[in-house]
Structure 1
Amino acid sequence: MARGELIRSRSLFDRIAGRVVLAAGWRRALLAVLSGAFATLALAPVDFPFAGFVAFPVLVWLIDGTGVDVEAGALRRSLRPFWTGWLFGFGYFVAGLWWLGAALLVDAGTFVWFLPLAVLGLPAVLAIFFGFAVALCRLVWSDSAWRILGLAACLGLAEWLRSWIFTGFPWNEIGVMAASHPVLMQVVSLVGVHGLTILAVIVFSVPAILLDNRGRWPMLGLATVLLVGQIGYGLWRLQDNPTFFDQTVVIQIVQPNIEQSLKWDPEIAGQNFDTLIEMTTSKEASPGSPGGRAEGKASAPRRLIVWPETAVPFVLTDRPEAISRLAQSLSEGETLIAGAARVDRSEAGRQRVYNTVYVIDDEGTIKAASDKVHLVPFGEYLPFQDFLESLGVSSLVDMPGGFSAGPALEPVPLDGAPAFLPLICYEIIFPREVPVGDPVPGFILNVTNDAWYGATPGPYQHVRMATVTAVALGLPMVRSANTGISVVTDAVGREIGGLGLNRQGNLVSALPANAMVTPYRTYRDLPFLLLLLTVSVIALVMRFALRPGIG
């Protein structure tokens, strides 16, 4: 029977799978790219996780097809799995990260030439991790349904590597696709987002094995147990951990909604600062804010007022009159936590600039300062700075020499309130790097400025990953964003209140107080590595131990 007749003789589902397996040339490449792009519908703000049940079966069938062309040369056959994974990853990262280009359009005259590198170049580099994963798993591929365990293990390994190689960029990890709701997030408190990646790939790939004869039922049973277990554990954990509050602390998040193009304009710096002061002193909560108008001092003796990342539009310590105004704007018992640039001129002939969070009391005294440790490459600093500047490349932040990295990230103590973990911007997507030592933090404070990315998926993806990190560490989160999205969540990811994108207002809320110790917080990546080892061993055993007719 001819190949075309064989395809036509099967069921519709079987014919679709057969056409994907046998696809070649540009059709195979297009299928890989489109399936990767389709997978991003599972990410915020669309939040359609069922996209994974389409994208990953297509990937499995494409991998099945990498060994079909027996007449191809050895080199071509060896490269096909890598290119299949790379094309899938390229589609995934282009569709998931295209909004990075919006940051380059803030100062289009300077950075528009860099747009193709950001929108296409970065995805091309990140896709190498997916190419590596598929090439690795193809070495132990089989015709058994158990093969999807190998794919899950290899993609989990690739995503773990992506989180730290070259400082790491774990944005939109596959596991986040399966964490669109607090119920689905809770498993990260056990195995982290890398572990959730392994579980998600197994479950998402199930439709691909419905036609398999070997190992189908055991794998269907395993995937069902994993999915039901994830949902059941999430429901139990949410029910077992009700939200309660520290009644002695009120949080006031100031969301000024200042456009990025105006944020550092020296001609309106004073106006921007006035806006922040006026919003701070108003104490007025925006509609929908859970706390309403602030309570009196007797019921809430400590108020924490939070400004977003680099909210102060100048070097604060160079302007004593500005610090004096801050002191005047704070009532007794109030503390301001504000993002600002900090300049260190202690080195002769050189100054260092830090992206900093200041803690300022009601007398205008700077009680603490925490510098950002994990900087954004090309955004806050230039790798190989001298060489790239000689080529005319500069960082997005208009800062001579860029920002410098702080020495260490540590919890910051507060008078009359729990200590907090200061995570500036995308530091919050690196839970492995977050210390939770002495003093024991009561909450995560995430200040950010997503105004760079406008009304794109970027801010929605950022707040989703921030929430996943908070759940993994078992800590409430207070998040202040310049243009949004500002939120307060409890330790299991339930949103207490929030201010949407491109809104100006105050978010007033009591401080969630149900911090807890999670297995991930205690052991970090160890549970993930044990899961990775277990899944890898099972995949290898089933690959080499099964014989025809078994499984």
Structure 2
Amino acid sequence: MERLAGKIILLSGAGRALAAMAAGAIASLSQAPFDFPLAAFVAFPLLVWLLDGAVAAPERRGLRRLVPAFLVGWMFGFGYFLAGLWWTGNALLVEADLFAWALPLAIIGLPAVLAFFYAIAAALAKIAWSDDIGRIAALAVAFALAEWLRSILFSGFPWNAIGYAAMPVPLAMQSIAVAGATGINVLAVFVFSLPALLAGREHLKLGAALGIGLVALHLGYGALRLSQAGLTDGAQNIAVRVIQPSILQSQKWDMAERDRIFQAHLDLTTRPAEQDAAAPDVIIWPETSVPFLFGDRPDALAALGAAVGDDQRLLAGIVRAQAAADGGTDYYNSIVVIDGTGEIVDAFDKVRLVPFGEYLPFQEFLSRFGLRQLAQNIGGFSAGTTRRPLDLGGGMTGLPFICYEVIFPGIAPRGGTDARLLINVTNDAWFGDTPGPHQHFRQAQLRAVESGLPLARAANNGISAAVDGYGRVIDGLALDAVGVLDVAIPLAEADTLLPPLRPGLIGWGLLLALGIAAIANNLRSRDRVN
């Protein structure tokens, strides 16, 4: 191992860049749908050794001394995001005549931009670098900070955070309810990087003890929590029907297809329930499932009212139009709640819009260069202002998330809402049969564990599912399947074996503790040298 580490440390130029990109690409295999955490145990030691060798020339001073580490971090991030997010380019092929020219921007440009977060992390870690376990702590803290920044800057895009690699199954998901996303990120990078200590003898026993102990604690807590969970006997249930029509994205807004698409949704809505399934209390259609504006088709609401029973509610994803103050029209990506009379009794407008998909950042400037959002047929969407629970009838409420809103950690804080169900509607048909829908679903699962609330998810082409508050799939529909999911979702909140402190506080406490340890170790190393 020392010989391998030595060769990697001595790499320079193109060799170092290629090794860093390869390490990042290997790390992406730890994410869904591959779910191979061992890949991260290979990738992060390689990154540690590459940073060991990322030493600036003696004459460089100040921030210039961090440039080699910055470049290694950028190459690692570029490899990670290129291998993990290449599928975003599929969305541009739906209307290839308009957007195929932008494929390099999606496939290469997005990873290139996101890689700067890991570049900053590597440079920041290098400030507190040492020759032993202290550098592992420094790298973990720096990456956790980078993931936090990635979730908030420029509207945020925390897709495939490193910590998700440590949570491929419900057994390994429970710790996020205690440590939060920040705590999981810092601990995951710390544990993944510990094999780098095999190249030396200092702190090897300490690293082995910490690594084995943290993994055992992580999985042991998950096993203990799940053993006390179960689907609570006697818990109040809500009967939900999830509609998955699998409409091709190329047909979705075709004027000639709209009646057929709407009727396909209605047919699935009125399909008789299986023999052992209860009649649904709530029926959920996917994002933008209604293929026209209600204002243009007043008959549509009457048809929906006829399809919905007197005691039922239907949640449908629609495009909502509203007169703007300037005399124009604002469009919203929305969910409406419709009762048995065909009346809209509640609604929610999407708060977090997808940059370049639903709106164009810096539109006045970028439009001069021919750039526009994918939703160009309506000129882009406007953002809603607040997220609030929707009235599901019978005293039930559900907290709505449209599409990628569900990827943001902490958006459904435990005890922070009166809702008893999370609702996620989405349309991943843009991305076809790629890793994208699997990664999206994984992040939705983790929001259920964070909040302790069950999740009902309707996706146009999948993955649609019902998930309990422990992240376990109660039932689901495979990608590209056409059908309905009739499921009784228990509404008991998953609150077993939780500390009194909020996960965010615990996560930042872990980050602070490791940060102090890294700085102290760095100072001690300098004293030793001097």
Q: Indicate if the aligned counterparts of 1:247 and 1:510 stay in contact, CA closer than 8 A.
A: no
Q: Would you say 1:539 and 2:529 are equivalent positions?
A: no
Aligned position for 2:327: 349
Aligned letter for 1:161?
L
Aligned letter for 2:446?
V
Counterpart-to-counterpart distance in 2, 1:404 and 1:83: 37
Q: How much does 1:546 deviate?
A: 5.2
Aligned position for 1:192: 180
Counterpart-to-counterpart distance in 1, 2:382 and 2:64: 45
Q: Would you say 1:25 and 2:13 are equivalent positions?
A: yes
Counterpart-to-counterpart distance in 1, 2:417 and 2:519: 44
Equivalent residue for 1:387, pick from 362, 365, 377: 365
Counterpart-to-counterpart distance in 1, 2:456 and 2:501: 22
Q: How much does 1:439 deviate?
A: 6.0
Aligned position for 1:210: 198
Q: Indicate if the aligned counterparts of 1:214 and 1:549 stay in contact, CA closer than 8 A.
A: no
Aligned position for 1:525: 504
Q: How does 1:166-185 map to 2 (within 5 A)?
A: 166-185=154-173
Distance 1:186 1:205, change over 3 A: same
Q: How much does 1:548 deviate?
A: 8.7
Aligned position for 1:60: 48
Aligned letter for 2:433?
A
Q: How much does 1:212 deviate?
A: 2.2
1:411-443 deviations in whole A, cap 9, x for unaligned? 123221521110000101113344677861111
Aligned position for 2:253: 264
Using the aligned pairs only, state the percent identity: 45
Equivalent residue for 1:427, pick from 386, 398, 405: 405
Runs (4+) of structure 1 exceeding 4 A deviation are 69-77, 245-248, 435-439, 517-522, 546-550
Aligned position for 2:240: 251
Distance 1:114 1:547, change over 3 A: closer
Aligned position for 1:294: 277
Aligned position for 2:472: 494
Aligned position for 1:462: 440
Aligned letter for 1:544?
L
Aligned position for 1:232: 220
Q: Would you say 1:50 and 2:38 are equivalent positions?
A: yes
Counterpart-to-counterpart distance in 2, 1:413 and 1:186: 29
Q: Would you say 1:307 and 2:307 are equivalent positions?
A: no
**Secondary structure of the equivalent of 2:376?**
coil
Q: Indicate if the aligned counterparts of 1:36 and 1:55 stay in contact, CA closer than 8 A.
A: yes
Q: Indicate if the aligned counterparts of 1:413 and 1:439 stay in contact, CA closer than 8 A.
A: no
Distance 1:497 1:72, change over 3 A: farther
Q: Indicate if the aligned counterparts of 1:189 and 1:521 stay in contact, CA closer than 8 A.
A: no
**Secondary structure of the equivalent of 2:261?**
helix
Counterpart-to-counterpart distance in 1, 2:417 and 2:140: 38
Aligned letter for 1:267?
A
Equivalent residue for 1:152, pick from 132, 135, 140: 140
Distance 1:358 1:141, change over 3 A: same
Counterpart-to-counterpart distance in 1, 2:189 and 2:501: 25
Counterpart-to-counterpart distance in 2, 1:520 and 1:304: 33
**Secondary structure of the equivalent of 1:344?**
strand
Q: Would you say 1:278 and 2:258 are equivalent positions?
A: no
The count of residues paired between Structure 1 and Structure 2 equals 526
Q: How much does 1:33 deviate?
A: 0.1
Distance 1:520 1:170, change over 3 A: farther
Counterpart-to-counterpart distance in 2, 1:521 and 1:504: 43
**Secondary structure of the equivalent of 1:431?**
coil
Q: Would you say 1:504 and 2:504 are equivalent positions?
A: no
Q: How much does 1:521 deviate?
A: 11
1:67-108 deviations in whole A, cap 9, x for unaligned? 2x7567558643100000000000000000000000000001
Structure 2 residues without counterparts, runs of 5 or longer: none
Aligned letter for 1:235?
A
Aligned letter for 1:209?
L
Q: Would you say 1:36 and 2:24 are equivalent positions?
A: yes
Q: How much does 1:393 deviate?
A: 1.3
Aligned position for 1:328: 306
Q: Would you say 1:112 and 2:100 are equivalent positions?
A: yes
TM-score (norm 2): 0.95
Q: Indicate if the aligned counterparts of 1:146 and 1:219 stay in contact, CA closer than 8 A.
A: no
Q: Indicate if the aligned counterparts of 2:401 and 2:423 stay in contact, CA closer than 8 A.
A: yes
Distance 1:505 1:274, change over 3 A: same
**Secondary structure of the equivalent of 1:42?**
coil
Q: Indicate if the aligned counterparts of 1:283 and 1:293 stay in contact, CA closer than 8 A.
A: no
Equivalent residue for 1:131, pick from 119, 122, 125: 119
**Secondary structure of the equivalent of 1:352?**
strand
Aligned position for 1:8: none
Distance 1:213 1:152, change over 3 A: same
Q: Indicate if the aligned counterparts of 2:129 and 2:522 stay in contact, CA closer than 8 A.
A: yes
1:108-157 deviations in whole A, cap 9, x for unaligned? 11111111011111111111110101101111111112310110000001
Distance 1:522 1:385, change over 3 A: farther
Aligned letter for 2:467?
T
Equivalent residue for 2:229, pick from 225, 238, 241: 241
Counterpart-to-counterpart distance in 1, 2:69 and 2:324: 54
Counterpart-to-counterpart distance in 1, 2:87 and 2:27: 16
Backbone CA RMSD of aligned residues: 2.2
Q: Indicate if the aligned counterparts of 2:134 and 2:518 stay in contact, CA closer than 8 A.
A: yes
Q: How much does 1:280 deviate?
A: 0.5
Counterpart-to-counterpart distance in 2, 1:235 and 1:390: 56
Q: Would you say 1:371 and 2:349 are equivalent positions?
A: yes
TM-score (norm 1): 0.91
**Secondary structure of the equivalent of 1:51?**
helix
Q: How much does 1:528 deviate?
A: 1.9
Q: Indicate if the aligned counterparts of 2:237 and 2:491 stay in contact, CA closer than 8 A.
A: no
Counterpart-to-counterpart distance in 2, 1:522 and 1:482: 38
1:475-495 deviations in whole A, cap 9, x for unaligned? 111000000000101000010
1:253-275 deviations in whole A, cap 9, x for unaligned? 00000000001111110000000
Q: Indicate if the aligned counterparts of 1:490 and 1:514 stay in contact, CA closer than 8 A.
A: no
Structure 1 residues without counterparts, runs of 5 or longer: 1-12, 286-291
Aligned position for 2:2: 14
Equivalent residue for 2:459, pick from 481, 490, 493: 481
Distance 1:139 1:71, change over 3 A: closer
1:300-351 deviations in whole A, cap 9, x for unaligned? 5x52110000000001243221111111111231210110011112636111
Aligned position for 1:450: 428
Q: Indicate if the aligned counterparts of 2:66 and 2:126 stay in contact, CA closer than 8 A.
A: no
**Secondary structure of the equivalent of 1:423?**
strand
